[in-house]
Chain A
Amino acid sequence: MPTATLPASTSTVQAPSGAVSPCALRIENLKTHFMTDDGAIPAVDGVSLSLSRGKVLAIVGESGCGKSVTSYSILRLIRPPGQIVDGSIMYYPGDGTRPIDIAKLNEKSDDLYRVRGGYISMIFQEPMTALSPVHTVGNQISEAILLHQKLTPAQAREKAIEMLRKVGIPGAERRIDQYPHEMSGGMRQRVVIAMALVCDPDILIADEPTTALDVTIQAQILKLIKDLQASRGTSVVFITHDLGVVAQIAHDVAVMYLGRVVENGSVRQVLKSALHPYTQALLKSIPSLGTRGARLPAIRGSVPSLTNIPPGCPFHPRCEHAVRGRCDVGGPPALRTFTGNRKAACVRIEEIHPTVRELTAAEVAAADTLAAEVTAAPAGRHNH
């Protein structure tokens, strides 16, 4: 297999663990805007991300940063007045067949139906609204199976029961005929997860799946997602605003602010030695052992409205490193690649972190080509 030799040769550029993971999903310059009477609202404005096969990528940010719109765009669930105005969402199927640009698929095409719920499925935040109150959970899970697989209703029901068991619902045979209102919040979220995983998707998008849950139930659900992800080799995009959850579940993190990715790297890189001033400030403003009883170093101001994005770096009015004449002029700073193959969008990174160096165009290109070669090769599922 030609790819077998690649991991060793690229280990210095990619992850320190030594293995290069092929890409499952690559978003390039995605722009999802909402067309209103007051003009276009750039909810997502030039997001580039890649999800490695078999890994968990967390997208983290405050409300209004565009993390949910990004995830909805991946499944083309954006409804007017919203629309994807630019960019590509390349999905690389696990079986090595040719990649699909989801952003360009026809709204009614069979390909999109196959992607949605088949190759890529989603867990929604609010388990009460994600489930239909007038259908039994069994019927709702079976619906997904019957749509995507050639099975009889009886077989689908068997499969649904098996799936409910896998997500840790006791008495699955009895529970399958219950309605969502007969279940607790944690149980409902397990049903939603069962529904999302029953077609054995390649990619799972989890949009704040534990935000509405108690911390003990959250721990159970995170463990469930982690276990299922590891045993099935599913690649996961995990949307959250909780940096603690990110630390516990993700391999890679993208931090978003006002519709753009401001920092992207491995979970250890981002949480333990953040590059971007926004990430640093966010981490500092969380109460911790050392801050007890003292003032918290809060970020000043609040997230600006998307209709009124500041010029230059969108974060500059709240940034303690902002310099007049550099941070507040021109367009938003580009996401640049630095040593350790981590990315940040800030013009002052080298000044704030003297030890960090921007990779040259050649070095970035080398890393990118290698990654592209790996993904283009019909390698199948590496992590199995």
Chain B
Amino acid sequence: MGKFELSHRPYTFPATFRLRINTMSSSTLSSISVAHPNLADANGVAPHGQTITSEPLLRVRNLCKYFPIKSKGIISRVIGKVKAVDNASFDLYPGETLGLVGESGSGKTTCARTILRALSPTSGTAHFRAKDPSAPGGHRVVDLATLPDRDLKPLRTQMQMIFQDPYSSLNPRMTVGDIISEPLLIHNIGTPAERKDKVVAILRKVGLKPEHMNRYPHAFSGGQRQRIGIARALIMRPSLVVADEAVSALDVSVQAQVINLLMDLQQEFNLTYIFVAHNLSVVRHICNRVAVMYAGRIVELAETEELFSNPRHPYTQGLMAAEPNIDPDIPMQFALAGEVADTGNLPPGCAFHPRCPKKFAPCDKQEPVLQKVAPSGCQASCHLLTPPAGS
């Protein structure tokens, strides 16, 4: 089946996954999070008998991360909270790339970090389908949000992160070999000789040379450093990789190389990416699906092509119109006035309404819910698309 399509678009994710997403609806989703912690039992979403690959690698439900705002003075009281991530729910399928986009302060990085438990979530669940040879089927589903630290550590080999800044994310006092082999050391994997072999192999995979092992990061260009960061993330053979603005700091010509590398490695190692980025043209190129975040919430979630050809949420529309086009004959539009809402002091109703060019009666009173708005499975949270009852 998908063969024809794959030969043309080698990186797109097989059509079967897409069908799975399409059958989801938000009402079933919200019930799962509480009633069915076991993914395999999730009614109507991932029924038994499905092929293993169509089960999500990660199922995030109602994930929240609030930071306390404390009063000044000796006795600091909590006087409020910053809702950095509020009620994020999405599925991530094996082999796909999910883009998280939004302005700074929209919570996209916090969301990714909370999933990896670099930050502890305030509430919500993040069920991860972990590789476990001892479990039946070779997999077991764990909730990353509530897992104790001691159980989390072995799982960290399966979830890795690529950082934005190739300069500050590498220790200048460690050689490249030490940097890349450190994860192996921490998890006590292999003998020194085996570790060295692994480093050599992964260096080749990311387009560097084995002799680079004994050099220090300062000897490398930005693009090469990012390759080192990628090698460090991939040496544990993770299944989930969070790329947090992984190509944003790179020059255009080098950015294209790293994008190609990320896509090649995804195919070779069957990686699943959460791609946090603000550059929409890169997101459009690399992602299968995209979640648009605003003020800590997902406001629209759709397949990439659909999102870009038919953005439904006014915020998504504004974001896309603001992207400067490389064709001087297609003028940029200045649709969005104002700035991102303060997540410590959100406006009532829809957080976007003070900037929204299409706001109407219910927008400043009632908060919209992320729900399916098209047969294709596109989800959005906007009163315009799903008018609330009684208005």
Contact = CB atoms under 8 A, between A and B. Distances in A.
B293 interface: no
Interface string A282-306: 1101111101111111111011000
B257 A245 contact: no
Given A292-B284, A302-B223, A62 B104 contact: no
Given A62-B252, A219-B322, A184 B278 contact: no
Contact of A184 (B9, B329, B332, B339): B339
Given A214-B340, A215-B280, A63 B328 contact: no
B194 interface: no
B253 A216 contact: no
Interface string A42-71: 000000000000000000001100000000
Contacts of A117: none
B149 interface: no
Contacts of B259: 287, 296, 298
A215 B328 CA distance: 17
B328 A288 contact: no
Given A214-B103, A285-B256, A222 B324 contact: yes
A282 B253 contact: yes
Interface in A255-284: 267-268, 271-272, 281-283
Given A219-B334, A296-B256, A288 B251 contact: no
A10 interface: no
A215 B278 contact: yes
B103 A215 contact: yes
Nearest to B318: A216
A288 B326 contact: yes
B17 to A, nearest CB: 14
Contact of A245 (B224, B282, B324): B324
Contact of B324 (A214, A248, A293): A248
B222 interface: yes
A244 B256 contact: no
B328 A214 contact: no
Interface string A182-220: 001111000000000000000000000000001111111
A296 B221 contact: no
B282 A287 contact: yes
A217 B282 CA distance: 19
Contact of B251 (A187, A287, A289, A303): A303
Nearest to A223: B334
Nearest to A219: B322
Counting contact residues on chain A (CB < 8 A from B), the size range is 35 or more
B252 A215 contact: no
Contacts, number: 135
B251 A63 contact: yes
A241 interface: yes
Contacts of A295: 260, 263
A347 interface: no
A125 B215 CA distance: 32
Contacts of B305: 292
Nearest to A184: B339
Contact of A216 (B12, B103, B252): B103
Interface secondary structure of A, over-half rule: helix
Most chain-A CB neighbours within 10 Å: which of B223, B286, B322, B324? B324
B365 interface: no
A287 B322 contact: no
Nearest to B223: A302
A293 B323 CA distance: 20
A281 B254 CA distance: 11
Given A286-B252, A294-B9, A216 B285 contact: no
Contact of A286 (B281, B331, B334): B281
Contacts of A245: 324
B325 interface: yes
B266 to A, nearest CB: 11
Nearest to B305: A292
Interface in B301-349: 304-305, 318-319, 321-329, 331-334, 336-337, 339-340
A-B pairs, 6 with minimum CB distance: A244-B324, A287-B285, A298-B256, A285-B256, A299-B253, A219-B322
Interface of B: 9-12, 103-104, 221-224, 251-257, 259-260, 263, 278, 280-282, 284-286, 304-305, 318-319, 321-329, 331-334, 336-337, 339-340
Given A285-B256, A318-B253, 10 more contacts: A215-B322, A215-B324, A248-B325, A271-B328, A285-B252, A287-B286, A289-B284, A298-B256, A302-B254, A303-B254
21 contacts: A63-B251, A214-B103, A217-B103, A219-B321, A219-B333, A219-B336, A241-B251, A242-B324, A244-B325, A247-B328, A268-B329, A285-B255, A292-B305, A295-B263, A296-B256, A296-B260, A298-B254, A299-B257, A300-B257, A302-B254, A303-B221
